[in-house]
Amino acid sequence: MRYRKLGSSELEVSEISLGSWLTYSGGIEADKTRACTEAAFDAGINFFDTANVYGQGAAETAWGDILSSRPRDSYVLATKVYFPMSEDPADQGLSPAQIAKQIDASLTRLKTDHVDLYQAHRFDPTVPVEDIVEAFQKVVQQGKARYIGFSEWSPEQIEAAIDIAGPDLFVSSQPQYSMLWQAPEAEVFGLCSANGISQIVWSPLAQGVLTGKYKPGQPVPEGSRFASAEMAVSKDLVYSDATLQAVQRLVPIAEEAGMSMPTLALAWVLRRGEVASAITGASRPEQVHANAAASGVELSGDLLAAVDQALGDVPVTEPTPAPGAQPGVKHR
């Protein structure tokens, strides 16, 4: 496993990280969650990404039980705040009160006194950006988080927050990014890089579509992510006949290069220096090890050209708002 510096922080994160979005929030059983987490440590993965909203705290609770048995300095822990945590309309967003409340709740579930990275899961245009920045600064000042990041903010929102916070508060951006979803290359990568902010990307395997296991015109395989109602909630982002056909054109390219489809897809994401880590999900330990094998794999120019040709015009390349994202910035 290779490691990369996370933005302007002192954190060194594994190129492949383990996420808990659809799996450890209730998609798979507790014993499998533990087995996958142990496999991650075995593979050299040190970066674990979760969020308060995953299973309404279930994913954080699961990892709190598992990770708390290990030395706190042996892993880099990230969580997030923004999405609704109950039916109370006020129990969401990035108000200072909500940030203060949710960081404490996350720390309790995670059984730790601090997270290494606390992220705004989306931008909240209903709250003055000055209030948002100051609330996150307070979390750092209190020692509850070492660094702050954000997920799926627009360039306008990123610039507004940096203008107030200065260059050192935000160290990471978490966009969707894969061979099939290349949108952040257009604007976000360059803006963040100029401000010392790394990318930690979600869905680098396009929710499993880039493994090649989903075939055009065929039902989804039993036991796969999209066979589960709980884990298929964002299927429409990446699943269509066109994307499935493009992936099948990639399969012989991977085979000729002597690598698996997941390795090709993850190495493709990591070819960009702006990316510090690719967040992968796994429901079995062998998937963790297979994903980790992509760290350090270099792709030749000829191979990258073949990938581009196979993908054609299928990938999303234009700036595209993420699910749950809202435009605009409010000031005091």
Q: What is the pLDDT of residues 5-16, one digit of tens each?
A: 999 999 999 999
Say how far apart CA 162 and CA 175 lie, in whole Å: 17
Scanning the structure block, which residue is given the tokens 């040709």? 309
pLDDT at 223: 60
pLDDT (average), residues 153-175? 96
pLDDT category at 238 given cuts 50, 70, 90 is confident
Say how far apart CA 30 and CA 33 lie, in whole Å: 5
Computed over every residue of the chain, the mean pLDDT equals 93
Buried b vs exposed e over 84-100: b needs ≥16 C-beta within 10 Å? Answer: ebeeeeeebbbbbebbb
Say how far apart CA 71 and CA 101 lie, in whole Å: 26
Say how far apart CA 71 and CA 38 lie, in whole Å: 14
Catalytic residue among 54, 75, 118, 214: 54
pLDDT tens readout for residues 52-92: 999 899 999 999 999 999 999 999 999 999 999 999 999 99
Q: At residue 236, does pLDDT exceed 90?
A: no
54 is catalytic: yes
Long-range Cβ contacts of 38-42 (<8 Å, 24+ apart) = 38/66, 38/285, 39/282, 39/285, 39/286, 39/288, 39/289, 40/288, 40/292, 41/70, 41/74, 41/75, 42/289
The more confident residue out of 283 and 149 is: 149
pLDDT category at 258 given cuts 50, 70, 90 is very high
With left for phi above 0 and alpha for psi between -120 and 50, is residue 324 left, alpha or beta?
A: left
pLDDT (average), residues 88-97? 97
pTM (predicted TM-score):
0.94
pLDDT at 230: 52
Neighbours of 25 (CB within 10 A): 23
Q: At residue 207, does pLDDT exceed 90?
A: no
Q: At what angle do helices 58-67 and 96-110 cross, to 10 degrees?
A: 40
Q: At residue 219, does pLDDT exceed 80?
A: no
Share of the chain above pLDDT 70, in %: 92
pLDDT category at 107 given cuts 50, 70, 90 is very high
pLDDT at 182: 97
pLDDT category at 245 given cuts 50, 70, 90 is very high
Alpha-carbon distances, residue 48 vs 63, 116, 137, 212 (angstroms): 9, 10, 22, 25
pLDDT (average), residues 286-314? 97
pLDDT at 215: 83
Say how far apart CA 200 and CA 276 lie, in whole Å: 6
Return the ∠ at Cα 225 (arms to 249 and 61), rounded to 5°: 135
